[in-house]
C-alpha cells in the first residue's frame, strides 16, 4: 500500500507544481521556493509527518521535505537549547541535502566540461 501512496503523493505534488508553471508566470525558481515554504507550513500543521508515514520515500524525496526538515530542526533545537536552539538547530537535519549537493556539484564541475 505504501508503494501506491508513494506514487500518488509525489505525483500529486509534481502535478500541482506543473499546473502552477503552466497557468501562471512563475518560474521554476518561484515554484521550488514556494514548495519549500509549503513543506515548512505543512510540517507546522502536522500534516507532513503523516504524509511521510503513509507514503515513505514518496514524500521524503520532494523539495517540501527540505522545509519539513528545517522546521523539525528548529523545534528540536528549541527543546534542547532554548532560544539559541531556534538558530543553532535550524540546519542540523537538512545538512545532508545541502552538503551533498554542494560537494557533488563541486567535484563534478572539475571532472566534466559544460556541454555547449
Partner 1 sequence: MNKEQYQKLVKKYEPQENKIKNVFLAFISGGCLGLSCQILATFFQNVLGMSTETSYSFVCIILIFLASLFTALGFFDDLVSKYRAGLIIPTTGFAHSMSSSALDYRKDGMITGLGSNIFKLAGSVLLYGIISAFLFGYLGVIFYG
- Of residues 11 through 40, those in contact with partner 1 by CB under 8 A are 11-15, 17-19, 21-23, 28-29, 31-37, 39-40
Sign of CA dihedral 76, 80, 81, 83: positive
**Cα distances (Å, whole numbers) of residue 16 to 11, 12, 32, 88:** 9, 6, 12, 33
C-alpha cell at 56: 515513505
Site for partner 1 in 39-98 (CB under 8 A): 39-41, 43-44, 55-67, 70-71, 73-75, 78, 86, 90-91, 94, 96-98
64, 36 contact by CB (below 8 A): yes
Q: Determine the Cα–Cα distance for residues 42 and 50; give it in Å rounded to an integer.
A: 10
| Shortest distance (Å) from residue 84 CB to partner 1 | 13
In sequence order, which residues have a C-beta less than 8 Å from that of residue 52 and are 6 or more positions away? 59, 60, 65, 68
How far apart are CB 50 and partner 1 at their closest, in Å? 15
CB of 3 to partner 1, least distance (A): 6
Residue 25 or 29: the one with the smaller Cβ distance to partner 1 is 29
What is the smallest separation between the CB atom of 53 and partner 1, expressed in angstroms?
Answer: 10
Q: Using CB under 8 A, which of 7, 47, 81, 84 touches partner 1?
A: 7
Amino acid at each position: 500500500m505504501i508503494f501506491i501512496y508513494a506514487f500518488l503523493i509525489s505525483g500529486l505534488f509534481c502535478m500541482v507544481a506543473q499546473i502552477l508553471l503552466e497557468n501562471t508566470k512563475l518560474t521554476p525558481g518561484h515554484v521550488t521556493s514556494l514548495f519549500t515554504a509549503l513543506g515548512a507550513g505543512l510540517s507546522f500543521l502536522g500534516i507532513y509527518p503523516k504524509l511521510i508515514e503513509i507514503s515513505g520515500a514518496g514524500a521524503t524525496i520532494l523539495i517540501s521535505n527540505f522545509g519539513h526538515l528545517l522546521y523539525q530542526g528548529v523545534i528540536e533545537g528549541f527543546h534542547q537549547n532554548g532560544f539559541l536552539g531556534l538558530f543553532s538547530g535550524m540546519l542540523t537535519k537538512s545538512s545532508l541535502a545541502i552538503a551533498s549537493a554542494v560537494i557533488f556539484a563541486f567535484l563534478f564541475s572539475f571532472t566534466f566540461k559544460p556541454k555547449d
